[in-house]
Amino acid sequence: MEKFVIDGGVPLSGTMTPAGNKNGALAILAAALLTEDEVVVSNVPRIRDVETMLSILTAIGVGVAWRGPNEVALCAAAVHEVEVPEEQAERIRASFLLAGPLLARFHQAIMSPPGGDVIGRRRLDPHLDAFRAMGAVVQCGRDIVLGAPRGLRPTDVFMDEPSVMATENALMAAALIPGTTVLGNAACEPHVQDLARMLVKMGADIQGIGSNLITVNGAERLHGCAHRVAPDHIEIGSFMALAGVTGGELRITDTVPGDLRMIRLVFERLGLCTELDGDDVIVPGGQKLVAQTDVGGYKCKIQDGPWPAFPADLTSIAVALATQAEGSILVHEWMFENRLIFTDKLILMGADIVMCDPHRAIVTGPRRLRGERVESPDIRAGMAMLLAALCADGRSEIGNIRQIDRGYERIDERLRELGARIERVATEPVHA
């Protein structure tokens, strides 16, 4: 086990390049199952969740070979198993992304319940409803058994919620079904778009990329391709906020500005202004964060939602940023009822946060935070605590950092390059 030891109060300044999108990479790696040909994926983040996904793929017979620090080649010609191992499936929620490719190509998939962050109820029903619409038989017990002995059929799928992973699963399955499948009320996040672009390279014809109505003209056989994972807009937003709370000047290179419009808009409501220089985002240093009020003097409100709304994965980061903004902000996390539970750790560090209910919190700032010992319950809460620790007075210790490592590549090394005083330290074993 390891922990981070952080001495706060140092502005983070310099230049950083974002890693590949974590959620995009996981779906893109799963898509390699759709073909016998080799698939080469570059700009893959070297994080725990990616390593877990690759170990699952290896276990079912996919050949996996790293060809560079962030480039991996996959070949699913010798897949011999359609059952995802329980021990590995429970480590990441994205293990369920193998259901669509396995079902489409092998007409069967046996899925153990997926794991992942405990941030609230995360339904599998949209996945299963899409598979049923495509002609699959679904049996739900300890495992979820999916079967389509005669193959899946093209159809019209309308999702009861715009689930990102369910859309990705349906997209991958539809790409290998000859004929036209229409996905309505589909998710359209940047990583869903990136997966769709890869599937087009593999031979599918996909219309409506970036919208919530996607038409897939699938192919009887998909072929290999080379694909570069798009930059992670969640990581970019996290680093923008890191610069904001510490007062540093930061340039983030090689972004996709269109993916950042809502993030920049919401952060501006908290007083954090950013600039574009081509594909680079610049966070000017020394900004005084003052939360905007709505016309009439009403409290500033931040609310997440499906794309293109503010991303749920940045809600925790927005809370940490709000602790340093002058004014009172209502944060409404309507998607996951446990996402805001971590705020008790920020309160321990001196934040002024009132939990109204599991979905809403009022943050009043600015508050001078102090170093404390805290534990990271999930990826994004862990990053929020890193923000707090880096701007706090004194020393902080963050435990359970494997959660942060699941989503952020070499985060301590990259922060040190920007001037942070952070060390990764082995924790002492607890003896019975």
- With residue 329 as reference, give the H or E element that holds it: strand 327-332
Catalytic residue among 7, 49, 117, 205: 117
Residue 372 CA to residue 383 CA, distance in Å, equals 15
* Single-letter code of the amino acid located at 346: L
The CA-atom distances, in angstroms, between 264 and each of 32, 97, 110, 326, 331 are 34, 30, 42, 18, 16
Residue 231 CA to residue 24 CA, distance in Å, equals 9
> Taking Cα atoms as reference points, which of 40, 27, 384 lies closest to residue 187?
27
Burial (0-12, 13-18, 19+ Cβ within 10 Å), 67: exposed
User: Could you tell me whether strands 373-375 and 395-399 are parallel, antiparallel, or unpaired per DSSP bridges?
Assistant: parallel
Joined tokens for residue 171: 């997209």
Do 21 and 229 meet the contact criterion of CB atoms below 8 Å apart? yes
With b meaning 16 or more CB within 10 Å and e meaning fewer, what string describes 356-374? eeebbbebbbbbebbbbeb
Q: Which residues sit opposite 183 in a β-bridge?
A: 157, 214
Residue 314 CA to residue 316 CA, distance in Å, equals 6
Do 386 and 359 meet the contact criterion of CB atoms below 8 Å apart? no
> Taking Cα atoms as reference points, which of 123, 98, 77, 80 lies closest to residue 27?
98
| DSSP H stretches of helix in 139-277 | 164-175, 190-201, 233-246, 261-269
Name every residue whose Cβ is closer than 8 Å to that of residue 374 and which is 6 or more positions away in sequence. Answer: 345, 348, 349, 385, 396, 397, 398, 399
Sheet of 137-140, strands arranged across: 108-111, 144-147, 137-140
Residue 398 CA to residue 241 CA, distance in Å, equals 18
Active site residue 117: yes
Query: Which residues are annotated as catalytic?
Result: 117
